[in-house]
């Protein structure tokens, strides 16, 4: 069995943090990433783009939908 792990943070909260606070978060994430990779449980990961860069289109129910950009992959 495999799981998808999504780490989410509110962008406005992130923007309000000091450089030191953001640095601490990056350090904690780096530690977590190294530990899960060392355990052999990580398949990979990527940072998502900001919400302001998101693209969407309206579609009818049951109609296949497509998006463009990295989120479509």
User: Which range marks the domain in which residue 64 is found?
Assistant: 11-72
What is the reported pLDDT for 52?
81
Is 5 inside any structural domain? no
Q: Is residue 3 part of a domain?
A: no
Per-position pLDDT tens, the chain of length 73: 788 888 877 888 888 999 999 999 999 999 999 999 999 988 888 888 887 887 776 666 665 665 665 654 4
Q: Is residue 53 a part of any domain in this protein? A: yes
Residue among 55, 53, 54, 51 nearest 11 (CA):
51
Q: Look at the chain and report how many structural domains it folds into.
A: 1
Looking at the domain assignment, is residue 52 inside a domain? yes
Three-class secondary structure of residue 16 per DSSP: helix
Whether residue 20 lies inside any domain: the answer is yes
Q: Is residue 40 part of a domain?
A: yes
Distance CA 14, CA 18 (A): 9
């Amino acid at each position: 069995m495999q799981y998808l792990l999504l780490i989410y943070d509110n962008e406005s909260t992130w923007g309000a943090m000091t450089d030191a606070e953001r640095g601490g978060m990056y350090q904690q994430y780096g530690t977590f990433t190294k530990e899960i990779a060392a355990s052999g449980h990580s398949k990979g990961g990527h940072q998502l783009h900001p919400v302001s860069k998101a693209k969407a289109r309206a579609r009818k129910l049951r109609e296949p939908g497509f998006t463009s950009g990295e989120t479509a992959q």
